[in-house]
Structure 1
Amino acid sequence: MISGVVTGQVWATRRIDGLPAGAFLEVEADGSGAKLIAFDVLGSGVGERVLIAQGSVAAGWFPGPPPPVDALIIGSIDPDPPE
């Protein structure tokens, strides 16, 4: 899994049938600074820290035939842990 910060949104005029409601977001990975595009069903926004699953784990989340998505935002990381 990868943790990172959402840095932007990806906009498209068309979308594949079968994708659930959600958005593609650009995420900068912690440590490496590498950027990737991840599918988000949680409603994350720019500046939020998120946790990402990749590969078959990400594709396996979708019901039916897996869409061409290989990075999925699976969690939002709270800025401060509860006391």
Structure 2
Amino acid sequence: MIAATVTGHVWATRRIDGLPPGAFLEVQPDGSGSHLIAFDVLGSGLGERVLVAQGSVAASWFPGTPPPVDALIIGSIDADSTEQQQ
């Protein structure tokens, strides 16, 4: 799993059949200058910290024949309680 921050939206007007409702988001993994595109079914927003699964783990989440998605947002990272107190 990768901890990352949502940095943007990718607008896709056409999608393959069988892809559930969701959005393609650009995320930046923590401690990295790189970006990747992840499929989001949670409704994550810009600036939100998320958990991303990649590869066969991400693809196996989809029922039936998995679509060609190799990065999936699987969780939202809540703020650390020590950060909230400051």
TM-score w.r.t. length of structure 2: 0.91
Q: What letter corresponds to residue 22 of structure 2 in structure 1?
A: G
5+ long unaligned stretches in structure 2: none
Greater per-residue helix proportion: 2
* Cα shift readout 1:31-70 (whole Å, capped 9, x = no counterpart): 1121000000000000000000000000000000000000
Larger radius of gyration: 2
Residue matched to 2:8: 8
RMSD of aligned alpha carbons: 1.5
TM-score, normalised to structure 1's length? 0.94
Work out the percentage of aligned pairs sharing the same amino acid. 80
Moved over 2 A (4+): none
Does the residue aligned with 2:57 lie in a helix, a strand or coil?
A: helix
Does residue 24 in structure 1 map to residue 58 in structure 2?
Answer: no
The residue matched to 1:65 in structure 2 has which SS? coil
1:48 matches 2:45 = no
State how many pairs are aligned: 83
Distance 1:10 1:81 in 2: 32
